Amino acid sequence: MMPGSLARYSLHPDWILMQHFYDLKKISLEGSLVTIGSFDGVHIGHKQIIHSLVNQAHQAGIPAVVVTFHPHPQLVLNNESRPYYLTMPEKKAQLLGKLGIDLVLTYPFTLETSQMNPEDFISQLHEHLKFSELWVGYDFALGKDRRGTPSHLRDLGQVYKYKVHEIPAYSHEGELVSSSLIRSKIRSGQIRKAAQLLGRPFEIGGEVIKGEKRGKSLGFATSNLDIEPEVINIKPGVYACRAIVSGKTYSAVTNIGYRPTFGEDLKAPRIEAHLLDFSGDLYGNWIDLVFIDRLRDEMKFSQVSDLVEQISSDVEQAREILAD
Backbone angles phi, psi at 105, to 5 degrees: -110, 115
Give me the pLDDT at residue 58, please.
93
What contacts 218, CB < 8 A, 6 or more positions away? 304, 307, 308, 311
pLDDT in tens, 274-292: 999 998 889 999 999 999 9
Closest CA to 9 of 85, 106, 129, 102: 102
Domains of the chain (ranges; CATH) run 6-176 (3.40.50.620), 202-323 (2.40.30.30)
pLDDT of residue 82: 86
Instruction: Give the span between the Cα atoms of 320 and 324, in whole angstroms.
Output: 7
Residue among 59, 24, 5 at smallest CA distance from 129: 24
Q: Which residue has the higher pLDDT, 79 or 264?
A: 79
Whether the predicted pLDDT of 267 surpasses 80: no
CB-based contact 63:57 (threshold 8 Å): yes
265 vs 38, which has greater pLDDT?
38
**pLDDT (tens digit, 9 = 90+) per residue, 189-236?**
999 999 999 999 999 999 999 877 666 667 789 999 999 999 999 999
Question: What is the Cα–Cα distance from 134 to 158, expressed in whole angstroms?
Answer: 12
Question: CB of 49 within 8 A of CB of 37?
Answer: yes
